[in-house]
Structure 1
Protein backbone atom coordinates (compact mmCIF):
# COMPACT_ATOMS: atom_id res chain seq x y z
CA UNK A 1 0.00 0.00 0.00
CA UNK A 2 1.28 3.40 -0.94
CA UNK A 3 1.68 6.06 1.73
CA UNK A 4 0.31 9.57 1.60
CA UNK A 5 1.96 11.78 -1.02
CA UNK A 6 5.02 13.90 -0.27
CA UNK A 7 5.39 16.38 -3.11
CA UNK A 8 8.99 16.85 -4.23
CA UNK A 9 10.00 19.32 -6.89
CA UNK A 10 13.03 18.66 -9.07
CA UNK A 11 15.43 20.53 -6.79
CA UNK A 12 14.64 17.91 -4.14
CA UNK A 13 14.65 14.93 -6.50
CA UNK A 14 18.12 15.83 -7.78
CA UNK A 15 19.42 15.60 -4.21
CA UNK A 16 18.21 11.99 -4.04
CA UNK A 17 20.46 11.10 -7.00
CA UNK A 18 23.38 13.56 -6.93
CA UNK A 19 25.35 13.94 -3.69
CA UNK A 20 24.76 17.50 -2.45
CA UNK A 21 24.78 19.14 0.98
CA UNK A 22 21.21 18.21 1.87
CA UNK A 23 21.13 14.80 0.15
CA UNK A 24 21.70 12.68 3.23
CA UNK A 25 19.03 14.32 5.41
CA UNK A 26 16.45 14.22 2.61
CA UNK A 27 17.20 10.58 1.73
CA UNK A 28 16.94 9.61 5.41
CA UNK A 29 13.63 11.43 5.80
CA UNK A 30 12.16 9.80 2.70
CA UNK A 31 13.37 6.30 3.60
CA UNK A 32 12.17 6.52 7.22
CA UNK A 33 8.72 7.87 6.37
CA UNK A 34 5.74 6.04 4.96
CA UNK A 35 5.24 8.80 2.40
CA UNK A 36 5.04 8.27 -1.35
CA UNK A 37 7.20 10.63 -3.40
CA UNK A 38 4.97 12.53 -5.79
CA UNK A 39 5.65 15.19 -8.41
CA UNK A 40 4.43 16.62 -11.67
CA UNK A 41 5.20 14.57 -14.75
CA UNK A 42 7.49 17.42 -15.86
CA UNK A 43 9.90 16.30 -13.13
CA UNK A 44 10.77 13.32 -15.32
CA UNK A 45 12.26 15.56 -18.00
CA UNK A 46 13.80 17.96 -15.50
CA UNK A 47 15.44 15.26 -13.39
CA UNK A 48 16.79 13.18 -16.26
CA UNK A 49 18.24 16.25 -17.98
CA UNK A 50 19.84 17.47 -14.74
CA UNK A 51 21.40 14.07 -14.02
CA UNK A 52 22.53 13.71 -17.63
CA UNK A 53 24.24 17.10 -17.39
CA UNK A 54 25.95 16.49 -14.02
CA UNK A 55 26.46 12.77 -13.56
CA UNK A 56 25.38 10.77 -16.63
CA UNK A 57 26.33 7.45 -14.99
CA UNK A 58 23.39 7.77 -12.58
CA UNK A 59 20.65 7.99 -15.22
CA UNK A 60 19.40 4.47 -14.44
CA UNK A 61 19.14 5.36 -10.76
CA UNK A 62 17.19 8.51 -11.64
CA UNK A 63 14.83 6.53 -13.87
CA UNK A 64 14.29 3.96 -11.11
CA UNK A 65 13.38 6.74 -8.66
CA UNK A 66 10.89 8.15 -11.18
CA UNK A 67 9.40 4.69 -11.79
CA UNK A 68 8.70 4.36 -8.04
CA UNK A 69 7.01 7.77 -7.79
CA UNK A 70 3.54 9.05 -8.48
CA UNK A 71 3.85 11.43 -11.43
CA UNK A 72 0.79 13.64 -11.83
CA UNK A 73 -0.13 14.53 -15.43
CA UNK A 74 -0.48 18.20 -16.36
CA UNK A 75 -4.23 18.55 -16.73
CA UNK A 76 -6.08 21.50 -18.22
CA UNK A 77 -6.91 22.69 -14.69
CA UNK A 78 -3.24 22.53 -13.67
CA UNK A 79 -2.21 24.47 -16.81
CA UNK A 80 -4.76 27.21 -16.13
CA UNK A 81 -3.78 27.44 -12.47
CA UNK A 82 -0.06 27.57 -13.36
CA UNK A 83 -0.60 30.53 -15.67
CA UNK A 84 -2.18 32.58 -12.89
CA UNK A 85 -0.42 31.38 -9.74
CA UNK A 86 2.13 33.09 -7.53
CA UNK A 87 4.33 36.03 -8.34
CA UNK A 88 5.29 36.74 -11.94
CA UNK A 89 8.88 35.97 -10.95
CA UNK A 90 7.95 32.30 -10.42
CA UNK A 91 9.28 30.32 -13.38
CA UNK A 92 7.02 28.25 -15.61
CA UNK A 93 8.13 24.84 -14.35
CA UNK A 94 7.88 26.00 -10.72
CA UNK A 95 4.38 27.30 -11.43
CA UNK A 96 3.44 23.87 -12.80
CA UNK A 97 4.89 22.18 -9.72
CA UNK A 98 2.95 24.52 -7.43
CA UNK A 99 -0.28 24.14 -9.41
CA UNK A 100 0.11 20.36 -9.29
CA UNK A 101 0.64 20.40 -5.53
CA UNK A 102 -2.47 22.54 -5.11
CA UNK A 103 -4.44 20.10 -7.28
CA UNK A 104 -3.62 17.21 -4.91
CA UNK A 105 -3.43 19.33 -1.75
CA UNK A 106 -6.25 17.50 0.05
CA UNK A 107 -4.14 14.31 0.19
CA UNK A 108 -0.73 15.96 0.43
CA UNK A 109 1.37 15.32 3.55
CA UNK A 110 4.12 17.77 2.67
CA UNK A 111 6.01 19.68 0.00
CA UNK A 112 9.78 19.63 -0.20
CA UNK A 113 11.87 21.94 -2.37
CA UNK A 114 15.21 23.70 -2.22
CA UNK A 115 13.97 26.70 -4.22
CA UNK A 116 13.14 29.53 -1.81
CA UNK A 117 10.82 31.31 -4.23
CA UNK A 118 8.80 28.12 -4.76
CA UNK A 119 8.72 27.39 -1.01
CA UNK A 120 7.43 30.91 -0.31
CA UNK A 121 4.80 30.58 -3.04
CA UNK A 122 3.69 27.18 -1.72
CA UNK A 123 3.38 28.55 1.81
CA UNK A 124 1.40 31.47 0.42
CA UNK A 125 -0.97 28.95 -1.15
CA UNK A 126 -1.46 27.24 2.20
CA UNK A 127 0.87 24.29 1.58
CA UNK A 128 3.33 23.36 4.32
CA UNK A 129 6.59 23.57 2.37
CA UNK A 130 10.10 22.98 3.63
CA UNK A 131 13.72 22.31 2.78
CA UNK A 132 15.20 19.44 4.77
CA UNK A 133 18.75 20.23 5.86
CA UNK A 134 21.35 18.21 7.77
Structure 2
Protein backbone atom coordinates (compact mmCIF):
# COMPACT_ATOMS: atom_id res chain seq x y z
CA UNK A 1 0.00 0.00 0.00
CA UNK A 2 2.83 2.36 0.89
CA UNK A 3 4.40 1.79 -2.55
CA UNK A 4 1.10 2.49 -4.29
CA UNK A 5 1.01 5.98 -2.76
CA UNK A 6 4.62 6.57 -3.74
CA UNK A 7 3.90 5.46 -7.31
CA UNK A 8 0.82 7.71 -7.55
CA UNK A 9 2.82 10.63 -6.15
CA UNK A 10 5.61 10.08 -8.68
CA UNK A 11 3.16 9.93 -11.59
CA UNK A 12 1.48 13.16 -10.47
CA UNK A 13 4.85 14.90 -10.04
CA UNK A 14 5.95 13.88 -13.53
CA UNK A 15 2.61 14.98 -14.98
CA UNK A 16 3.08 18.43 -13.46
CA UNK A 17 6.80 18.76 -14.24
CA UNK A 18 6.75 17.84 -17.93
CA UNK A 19 4.47 20.70 -19.09
CA UNK A 20 6.41 23.17 -16.95
CA UNK A 21 9.75 22.08 -18.38
CA UNK A 22 8.60 22.07 -21.99
CA UNK A 23 6.93 25.49 -21.60
CA UNK A 24 10.14 27.11 -20.34
CA UNK A 25 12.04 25.93 -23.44
CA UNK A 26 9.58 27.48 -25.88
CA UNK A 27 10.12 30.75 -27.68
CA UNK A 28 8.07 33.70 -26.39
CA UNK A 29 5.75 33.32 -29.41
CA UNK A 30 5.08 29.71 -28.48
CA UNK A 31 4.52 30.68 -24.86
CA UNK A 32 1.96 33.32 -25.89
CA UNK A 33 0.26 30.81 -28.20
CA UNK A 34 0.31 28.17 -25.49
CA UNK A 35 -1.41 30.64 -23.18
CA UNK A 36 -4.48 30.42 -25.40
CA UNK A 37 -3.78 33.03 -28.03
CA UNK A 38 -2.71 31.16 -31.18
CA UNK A 39 -2.20 34.33 -33.22
CA UNK A 40 0.88 35.18 -31.18
CA UNK A 41 -0.71 38.42 -29.94
CA UNK A 42 -1.58 39.37 -26.39
CA UNK A 43 -4.85 40.58 -24.93
CA UNK A 44 -4.63 43.72 -22.83
CA UNK A 45 -6.64 46.12 -20.74
CA UNK A 46 -6.24 49.72 -21.95
CA UNK A 47 -5.85 52.36 -19.25
CA UNK A 48 -6.98 55.94 -19.43
CA UNK A 49 -3.82 57.61 -20.69
CA UNK A 50 -2.29 60.58 -18.89
CA UNK A 51 0.62 62.98 -19.27
CA UNK A 52 2.39 62.40 -22.58
CA UNK A 53 0.66 59.04 -23.03
CA UNK A 54 -1.84 60.30 -25.64
CA UNK A 55 0.93 61.95 -27.66
CA UNK A 56 3.02 58.78 -27.36
CA UNK A 57 0.05 56.79 -28.62
CA UNK A 58 -0.21 58.95 -31.75
CA UNK A 59 3.52 58.59 -32.45
CA UNK A 60 3.31 54.84 -31.80
CA UNK A 61 0.36 54.43 -34.17
CA UNK A 62 2.27 56.23 -36.94
CA UNK A 63 5.74 54.74 -36.44
CA UNK A 64 5.45 51.46 -34.53
CA UNK A 65 2.00 49.86 -34.78
CA UNK A 66 2.61 48.37 -38.23
CA UNK A 67 5.02 45.87 -36.64
CA UNK A 68 4.12 45.94 -32.94
CA UNK A 69 0.34 46.04 -33.37
CA UNK A 70 -2.26 48.48 -32.16
CA UNK A 71 -1.57 49.40 -28.52
CA UNK A 72 1.59 47.26 -28.59
CA UNK A 73 -0.18 43.87 -28.65
CA UNK A 74 2.09 42.57 -31.41
CA UNK A 75 1.60 41.53 -35.00
CA UNK A 76 1.91 37.81 -35.63
CA UNK A 77 3.32 38.54 -39.10
CA UNK A 78 5.74 41.33 -38.24
CA UNK A 79 6.74 41.99 -34.64
CA UNK A 80 6.39 41.10 -30.98
CA UNK A 81 4.01 42.51 -28.41
CA UNK A 82 5.55 45.19 -26.22
CA UNK A 83 2.88 44.59 -23.58
CA UNK A 84 4.66 41.44 -22.47
CA UNK A 85 6.73 40.49 -19.44
CA UNK A 86 9.87 40.39 -21.62
CA UNK A 87 9.63 44.17 -21.96
CA UNK A 88 9.06 44.96 -18.29
CA UNK A 89 11.17 47.89 -17.07
CA UNK A 90 13.57 45.71 -15.07
CA UNK A 91 14.42 43.61 -18.12
CA UNK A 92 14.21 46.18 -20.92
CA UNK A 93 14.68 49.62 -19.43
CA UNK A 94 13.60 52.79 -21.20
CA UNK A 95 17.03 53.18 -22.77
CA UNK A 96 16.55 49.82 -24.52
CA UNK A 97 13.64 51.32 -26.44
CA UNK A 98 15.71 54.39 -27.36
CA UNK A 99 18.57 52.21 -28.60
CA UNK A 100 16.20 49.95 -30.56
CA UNK A 101 14.73 52.91 -32.40
CA UNK A 102 18.11 54.55 -33.02
CA UNK A 103 20.23 51.52 -33.90
CA UNK A 104 17.83 48.67 -34.52
CA UNK A 105 17.97 45.35 -32.67
CA UNK A 106 19.27 41.91 -33.56
CA UNK A 107 16.58 39.31 -32.95
CA UNK A 108 17.15 37.68 -29.57
CA UNK A 109 13.83 37.02 -27.78
CA UNK A 110 11.51 36.46 -30.72
CA UNK A 111 11.73 34.89 -34.15
CA UNK A 112 10.49 37.86 -36.16
CA UNK A 113 13.93 38.75 -37.46
CA UNK A 114 15.97 41.83 -36.75
CA UNK A 115 14.31 45.17 -36.06
CA UNK A 116 15.66 47.95 -38.27
CA UNK A 117 16.32 51.42 -36.91
CA UNK A 118 13.31 53.72 -37.16
CA UNK A 119 13.96 56.94 -39.03
CA UNK A 120 12.42 60.30 -38.24
CA UNK A 121 11.87 59.97 -34.47
CA UNK A 122 13.57 62.26 -32.00
CA UNK A 123 14.66 61.18 -28.54
CA UNK A 124 11.67 63.14 -27.20
CA UNK A 125 9.31 61.26 -29.52
CA UNK A 126 10.63 57.93 -28.28
CA UNK A 127 10.34 59.08 -24.66
CA UNK A 128 6.63 59.76 -25.22
CA UNK A 129 6.18 56.36 -26.89
CA UNK A 130 7.92 54.71 -23.94
CA UNK A 131 5.62 56.57 -21.54
CA UNK A 132 2.62 55.30 -23.52
CA UNK A 133 3.89 51.69 -23.48
CA UNK A 134 4.76 51.84 -19.77
CA UNK A 135 1.25 53.10 -18.92
CA UNK A 136 -0.28 50.13 -20.74
CA UNK A 137 2.22 47.75 -19.13
CA UNK A 138 1.36 49.02 -15.62
CA UNK A 139 -2.36 48.63 -16.36
CA UNK A 140 -1.62 45.01 -17.27
CA UNK A 141 0.60 44.36 -14.21
CA UNK A 142 3.84 44.39 -16.19
CA UNK A 143 6.10 46.56 -14.06
Q: TM-score range by the shorter chain?
A: under 0.3
TM-score under structure 2 normalisation? Answer: 0.26
Higher Rg of the two aligned structures:
2
Q: Which has the higher strand share?
A: 1
